[in-house]
Amino acid sequence: MLENIYNLSLFEFKNHRSNITSSIFILIFYALGIIIFSFAMGGNVYESINKKNDILNMAQMNAININIGIIWGITIFALLFYSLSLFKEDISDGTLEQLIINDMGLTSYVVIKTLISWAFNCLPFIILQPLFTTILNIPPSYWLNIMLSLVIGSLALSFTLSLCVSFIVNHSKNNFILSILFIPLSIPILIFAISSSENNSYSLLILLAFSIISIFIYPIITGYILKQLTNQ
C-alpha cells in the first residue's frame, strides 16, 4: 500500500515536472492579473496607502482590503485555470481503472493528485507573494498573514475544486458548470481567507478548520464519485 502511494506520488511528480510549462503559464497569468488590476485600480488607492502615517487610517485600510480582495480573486481564477483537466486524462487513459484493480484507494489518489498539482501550480505564486503584495502596495506587516492564509486557504480551495471537478469530469459544458459548482462551496472559505489576510487570527483558525475538513472529507467524497464514474 505504502509502496503504491510512493510510486503514484513519484509518477505524479514526474508528470507535473514534465509539464512544468503549464505551471509557468499559471504563474504568468497570476502576475499579469495582479499587474492589470493594479493599473485598473488607478493611482489614488496607492497614494492613500503610501501616505506616511504611523497608524493606518480608514482610507488606507480600505485600499489594503481591496488589494487583498484582488489577490484572492486572482487566486481563485488561477485555481480554476489549472483544475479543469485534473482527472480527465486519468479517466480516459484508464489510469483510474488500473488503480482500482491494484487495490489502490482512490481517496489517497485524490489527495496525492491534488497536493502535487497544488505544489506545482499554487505554491510558486504563494512564495512570490511578497513581490505581488509590493506591486499592490500592501505594507510588509501584512505579508506573513497573507502568505499563511494563502497556503491554508488555497489548500482548502484546491480540495474543494478537486471535488467539483470530479462532478463534471465528463460534462459537455464543464468550464461553465465548474464555476457554478465552485461558487457556493468556495464563498465560506473566501470570507474567512480574506478576513484572515487582514490580520485576523480568529478567522485564520476558522480557515484552518475549513482546510482540515476539506483535506480529510472531500477526498473521500471525490474518490467515491470517481469510482462511480469508472464503474460505469
Partner 1 sequence: MKIKKIEILLVFLLIVSLATTFVGSYIGLISSPPDSKQGDAVRIMYIHVPTAMWSLMAYTIMALVSFIYLWTHKKIFHLIANAIAPIGMIFTILCLITGSIWGKPMWGTYWTWDPRLTSELILLFIYIAYLAINIGLETLRRKATILAVWTVIGAVNIPIIKFSVTWWHSIHQGSSMIKKGGGSAIDPSMQTPLYIMIIGITLLFITLSLINILRLINEEKNLKA
Residues in contact with partner 1 by CB under 8 A are 163, 167-168, 170-173, 176-177, 180-181, 183-185, 187-188, 191, 221, 224-225, 228-229, 232
Q: Which is nearer to partner 1, 117 or 222 (CB)?
A: 222
CA torsion through residues 126, 127, 128, 133, sign: positive
Shortest spacing between CB 130 and partner 1, in angstroms:
29
Q: Which is nearer to partner 1, 123 or 191 (CB)?
A: 191
Q: Which is nearer to partner 1, 201 or 232 (CB)?
A: 232
Q: Which is nearer to partner 1, 44 or 170 (CB)?
A: 170
Burial class (CB in 10 A: 0-12, 13-18, 19+), 31: middle
Q: How far, in Å, CA of 228 to CA of 215, rounded?
A: 21
53-80 b/e (C-beta count within 10 Å ≥ 16 → b):
eeebeeebeebbeebbebbbebbbebbb
Are the C-beta atoms of residues 31 and 132 closer than 8 Å to each other? yes
Shortest spacing between CB 230 and partner 1, in angstroms:
10
Q: Which is nearer to partner 1, 31 or 221 (CB)?
A: 221
Question: Cell numbers 502511494 correspond to what residue?
Answer: 5
Task: Quote the Cα angle for 163-210-157, to 5°.
Answer: 40
Instruction: Read off φ and ψ for residue 116, nearest 5 degrees.
Output: -70, -40
Q: Which is nearer to partner 1, 38 or 166 (CB)?
A: 166
Shortest spacing between CB 206 and partner 1, in angstroms:
11
Shortest spacing between CB 144 and partner 1, in angstroms:
26
Q: How far, in Å, CA of 117 to CA of 38, rounded?
A: 28
Shortest spacing between CB 185 and partner 1, in angstroms:
8
Shortest spacing between CB 128 and partner 1, in angstroms:
30
User: Cα torsion for 109, 115, 118, 119, to the nearest 10°?
Assistant: -130
